[in-house]
Amino acid sequence: MCVTCGCGEGEVKIEGAHAHHEHDHEHDHVHADGTRHSHAHDHADDGAHEHAHEHSHDAAHSHSHAPGVSPKRIVQIEQDILAKNNAYAAANRQALAEQGIFALNLVSSPGSGKTTLLCKTIAMLAGQAVSVIEGDQQTSQDADRIRATGAQAIQINTGKGCHLDAHMVGHAMQQLKLADHSLLMIENVGNLVCPAAFDLGEAHKVVILSVTEGEDKPIKYPDMFRAASLMLLNKVDLLPYLSYDVNAAIAFARRVNPQIRVIQLSATSGEGMAEWLDFLRQGVAQVATQVHHHH
């Protein structure tokens, strides 16, 4: 996972100022070489969250195969990171349940058409309140595209990080001022490896596979397809131009996850979109009926 690939490096920035709200969080990050550094983020009123990494060690920084650190130690570090993440995810899930919000974690390789699908989905869900948390390593172009549809969106830039985690998402949720009984779509960083391991507090992971990718993606990235409840096979409008075996792609997905639901669709032509919108509306309606009113 991430400890061994060194992706935790870099600065995380979450859009949006925190008015009259300054405090420091200290997080410890342990690197694969066993060194720790604290991770302080200041919530100043500068319109962005700067997560500054302060390195307080002299050890040579090697992210490859962690010389001098036993494999057992690496496993322990990974378990600690996931345990911390899962505690934040549980808090996110609780907050979402109290407001009756249906949250999805959208995952895929880069270029699957996630953002285009999201923009089209928001436009077609007219009348449904939708918020989006947009994860990318750099740029806020995707959040800008989503805001152009009229939905509220917040960008999280992960720097070198290859996935969103529940702590970043919790901060973004607070920034967004989520409406009761709304839909929250979290568009994860384009990557089928690390996002599989990090629960963000969502109801479902939705994996988007486009027909311009290999049919065997599900068995190459089994953790992600196993973690997902739904696979959207996107860009089916291109099938006439491709030698793509749809049945093989679905069979591979079912091999790793017999329960996975599959919807074939095209954000461009609109084919299959009705079934996807039904899935979203049913999810929103179901969560709304389960809401526990604490007011």
DSSP letters of 198-235?
A: ---S-SEEEEEEETTS-TTHHHHSHHHHHH-SEEEEE-
Average pLDDT, the chain: 85
Strand ranges across the sheet with 50-54: 24-30, 36-42, 50-54
Neighbours of 76 (CB within 10 A): 14
Do the strands 152-157 and 13-14 form a parallel or antiparallel pair, or are they unpaired?
antiparallel
Tokens 């920084």 appear where? 61
DSSP state of 20: T
pLDDT at 6: 63
Residues contacting residue 127 through CB under 8 Å, at least 6 positions apart: none
pLDDT at 290: 86
pLDDT at 175: 95
Q: What is the C-alpha to C-alpha distance for residues 180 and 244, in angstroms, rounded to an integer?
A: 42
Tokens 């997905």 appear where? 253
pLDDT at 277: 98
pLDDT at 65: 55
Provide the token pair at 164: 């969103």
Which domains does the chain carry? 2-56+63-84 (no CATH), 100-290 (3.40.50.300)
> pTM to 2 decimals?
0.83
**Distance in Å from the first CA to the final CA of the chain:** 41
Q: How far is CA 283 from CA 73, 215, 257, in A?
A: 41, 28, 21
CA angle 32, 34, 38 (to 5 degrees): 95
User: Which residues of the chain fall short of a pLDDT of 70?
Assistant: 1-6, 8-10, 17-66, 292-295
The number of CA neighbours under 13 Å toward the Cβ of 26 is 6
Q: At what angle do helices 273-290 and 114-124 cross, to 10 degrees?
A: 70
Query: pLDDT tens, 137-190?
Result: 999 999 999 999 999 999 999 999 999 999 999 999 999 999 999 999 999 999
